[in-house]
């Protein structure tokens, strides 16, 4: 029963953030001239967090573990959705990628402070929660760093870097990053990249399993 209630609260907050994620995908990322402050969609998401979390935290003050559960579930659900929307931000220029990376960092900072957001008493976030946020938001940051990484004349080097930064990624995610980069590749080049990706992934996973 309590688990279902927590899930409903997570869904409510996600729904409130959904328009901001949609707005993020509609930005013309290809035509950025310079990196500025955080984008308005990030400000909107943080506003929803500030409007929702303090009230929720107060109501669950006597059951701290349930509030922690809520925070962890929200991170585990919201951040993958954020990443799926990052993949939709295409085509994107290098400057656009830098802006999106800055936005991602600002959102990561806000999420790390989520458990105590809007509170006068700054308590350290539970380690279990912090671990989830860092792992998932770092993935988003790595995706954008790879979007900015050079590909021309450096196919093997790019694949090696990709697998190093995102060792748990799938071939589908690899294709999504290439798509964001606007890579113009022949079928032969694509087949070669896919084979390289599989080889590098296999060697990385074998090393990790030792």
Got the DSSP string for 112-126? Answer: HTGGGTT-SS-PPPP
Confidence class for position 123, pLDDT limits 50, 70, 90: confident
Given a cut of 60, whether residue 18 has pLDDT beyond it is: yes
Q: Which region, left, alpha or beta, applies to residue 37 given φ > 0 means left and ψ of -120 to 50 means alpha?
A: beta
Predicted local distance difference test score (pLDDT) of residue 160: 95
Confidence class for position 81, pLDDT limits 50, 70, 90: very high
Phi, psi angles (nearest 5°) of residue 89? -80, 75
Given a cut of 60, whether residue 145 has pLDDT beyond it is: yes
Contacts of 148 (CB under 8 A, 6+ apart): 94, 97, 98, 101
Confidence class for position 207, pLDDT limits 50, 70, 90: low
Confidence class for position 208, pLDDT limits 50, 70, 90: low
Fold of 2-148: Tetracycline Repressor; domain 2 (1.10.357)
Task: Report the predicted TM-score, pTM, of the whole model to 2 decimal places.
Answer: 0.93
Report the length, in residues, of the chain: 210
Using an 8 Å Cβ cutoff, are 122 and 116 in contact? yes
Percentage of the chain lying above the pLDDT 70 cut: 98
């Amino acid at each position: 029963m309590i688990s279902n209630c927590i899930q409903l609260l997570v869904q409510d907050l996600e729904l409130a953030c959904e328009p901001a994620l949609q707005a993020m995908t509609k930005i013309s990322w290809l035509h950025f001239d310079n990196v500025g402050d955080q984008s308005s969609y990030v400000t909107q998401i943080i506003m929803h967090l500030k409007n929702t979390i303090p009230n929720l935290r107060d109501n669950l003050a006597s059951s701290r573990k349930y509030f922690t559960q809520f925070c962890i579930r929200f991170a585990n659900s919201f951040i993958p959705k954020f990443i799926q929307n990052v993949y939709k931000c295409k085509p994107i220029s290098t400057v656009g990628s830098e802006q999106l990376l800055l936005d991602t960092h600002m959102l990561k900072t806000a999420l790390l402070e989520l458990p105590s957001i809007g509170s006068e008493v700054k308590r350290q976030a539970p380690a279990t929660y912090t671990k989830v946020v860092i792992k998932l938001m770092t993935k988003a940051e790595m995706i954008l760093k790879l979007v900015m990484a050079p590909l021309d004349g450096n196919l093997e080097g790019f694949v090696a870097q990709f697998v190093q930064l995102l060792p748990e990624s799938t071939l589908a995610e690899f294709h999504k990053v290439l798509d964001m980069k606007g890579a113009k590749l022949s079928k032969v080049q694509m087949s070669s990249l896919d084979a390289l990706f599989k080889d590098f992934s296999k060697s990385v996973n074998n090393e990790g399993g030792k």
